[in-house]
Every structure is written in C-alpha cells, then in structure tokens.
Amino acid sequence: MKEEGNKVERRGFISVGLVAFGGALGWVARKFQGPDAVRKTTPVTGGNRFEYDVSEFEKTDPSILTYEPAGEFETGLSKVKRLDVAPDGRILVAGERKVRFYSTDGQPDPSVEILLDKPTHCLHVTGEDELIVGVANRIEIYDFNGERKMQGPQLPGKAFLTAIATHEDSIFLADAGSREVVVCERKTGKEKFRFGKKDEEKGNPGFAVPSPYFDLAVGPDGRLRVADTGRLQVETYTLEGEFQSAWGQPGMKVGRFCGCCNPVYFAMTPDGDFITSEKGLARINHFTGDGEFLGAVAGPDTLVVDKEMVRKENEGGTVGVGFDIAINQQDHILALDPYRKSVRTFTPKKQYS
C-alpha cells in the first residue's frame, strides 16, 4: 500500500462533508427529487454554514476493523467511476469514456480497451464473456474483446443510469433520473416494466434518490436489493417489483448511514452479506443480509488520507464522489479510489479469515 505523509489541519476532513450536501443539493433539487424526500443537514456554527464537523468520527476503532489494506494500483485514468471483476479475475474499471481491463496484480491489458461516445456511469459483468455498460440513458453490451454485441434503445425522460444487475432473461437498471428500477429484455434492451413510485397495492414506499447514487444487485437468493439512498437504507424486492423488507438506520456512528444519501454503493457476498460504501464520511462496512453490523473494512482515516487532495477535488461544490466496491474470487474487497484514481485492495484479517 502507498502511504501518504501530508500534514493537514484537523478540520480538513470537513471538506468531505461538502460532498454530501454543498453543490449536490442544488443539483439534486433540480434533477432528482422533491423537497419532501431530501435529507436536511445539521450545519456547523460559525464559518461555512454548509460544513459538517465530523472530526469525532474520523478515527476508526481498530477493534472493529475486520479487514486490512493489502495493495493498490493506479488506473492511469484521469477520472474513475465504477469497477467490477471478471470470472477470470481481471479487474474492469470504467472512467472517462472508456472501460479498461487490468490483471489481478494491476497491470493494464493492452489488447482490449472499450471506447465509448459518452461517459460511463455503470458497468456489470454478466458472465465469462459479457459486459453491460450504462452510458447516460442507454445500455451497451460488449464481449471481453471489446466488440459491441448490442446497443439498447434510449430510455425516455430524464433517465440517468447508475447501476445494472441481471437475472436470467432480464436486466435491471437503476434509473436515478426517474427514481425507478427499469426492467428490460436481456436480448434487446427493450423495457418490460418499471417500478419505484409509491404503490399502496404492492406496498412499495417509493424511492427517495437525492443524488445520482442509486445502486442495486440481485442477491444469491434471487431477490433484488436496492439502495434507497434518501431513506438511508437497503430494501429488498421481488423480481416483479414488490417491496418485501428494508434495513438501515440514519446516524453518524459506524454501523449507520449518515448524510443525505447513503449507502452510495454496495456489493453482496456469495453468502448474502453486504459490503457497503458511504460518501461524505467515507467508510466501507460489512453487514449481514439482515443488516447486522459485522465490522469495518476501512474508515475515513484509511480511505481519505490526503485531505488537501479531497478539498481540491471538491472545489466548486461539485456533486460528490464515492468509493465503488467489488468482491473478487478470493473474497477480497476492491475499492475504486476516486481521488487517487486507483484500485485499493482490502483482505480479511487473519483472525477473521
């Protein structure tokens, strides 16, 4: 692992709180959400009224850390967004207007690079030789040689795709623009149905999505999990879009979700556990399938070492960034660092392996 030696002020991490509120809120209000669903923040007295004083939560208790840093490699991209892992262990990173492939030790594969006409918002490996990429309001399917196999139709309205999952002949798309899950035919990308608005008949609460973070996955039990970020919880749905249950509590303490919209990303283990990633107060945690906190993968003191770098990245009140996560075949946690433009690896501590 690389070590950062920069000296920073104690309140330096406050800038990360701007990710959760600052410029995001104005953008959010225009594009995504009604005022009744946007989480309000508690401002700090004095100076900047939009700052969070999160210094109390910067340090992670070593006793709850069940993972440890185990390596890092640079992507060579100027901007990174999402990552996934192929069945052969290669790591795929989406950033700028391309998808790059890397070996398990971080070496770029010069034989394949997928170039796109729009920035990549999400990607999902679906098999031995298939990758689905989300760009703006449509999906594209590629093989691992970089050849495009299908381009789906454009989704209507304010579509803004943020996550992809598959199950049998269906593709599930998280559309943060409409605050809905769009279910499409796998072969053609044609829409079959969508859900996400409040529906009393199905018992659906309706998604609250205050920013362009809206993740989903099909669990090993064949049910759909969705991060309802405005409600700070993870929800379970049938594949037909019927609400079943939810877990997650708001709060600054570890094991809870803070800010206006979290968790921004999550991944599921083969056993059905959750690895969650939060922005604002950057941290990656481990929960059971029912939401019981099991331990921390990495806290703010590990993920955001160079706080001056974070401050510069967030100048201008731009919409915040999060650490996308994936799980490889060795059950290692891979985290895509949006500041260092790198992939960082965390492995279970020996006493937990």
pLDDT at 210: 92
pLDDT tens per residue, range 264-293: 999 999 999 999 999 988 999 999 999 999
- Residue pair 337/344 in contact (Cβ under 8 Å)? The answer is yes
What range defines the domain where residue 31 resides?
10-75+160-352
Residue 107 lies in a domain: no
Q: Is residue 284 part of a domain?
A: yes
Q: What is the CATH number of the domain that holds 276?
A: 2.40.128.630
**Amino acid identity at 37:** A
DSSP H or E segment with residue 16:
helix 14-20
Residue 109 falls inside a structural domain: no
CA 235 – CA 289 distance, rounded (Å): 11
Q: What residues in the chain have per-residue pLDDT under 50? A: 1-50, 317-319, 353
Contact at 8 Å (CB) between 229 and 208? yes
Within-domain flag for 147: no
**How many degrees, rounded to 5, is the angle at CA 318 between CA 197 and CA 140?**
55
H-helix or E-strand containing 17?
helix 14-20
131 within domain boundaries = no
Please tell me the total count of domains within the chain.
1
What local confidence, expressed as pLDDT, does residue 48 receive? 47
Report the pLDDT value the prediction gives residue 30, as an integer from 0 to 100. Answer: 38
Task: Check residue 3 and give left, alpha or beta (phi > 0: left; psi -120 to 50: alpha).
Answer: beta
Q: Is residue 106 part of a domain?
A: no
pLDDT of residue 55: 64
Determine the length of the chain.
353
Q: Is residue 123 part of a domain?
A: no
Question: With 0-12 CB in 10 A as exposed, 13-18 as middle and 19+ as buried, what is 117?
Answer: exposed
80 in any annotated domain? no
Taking the alpha carbons at both ends of the chain, their separation in whole angstroms is 20
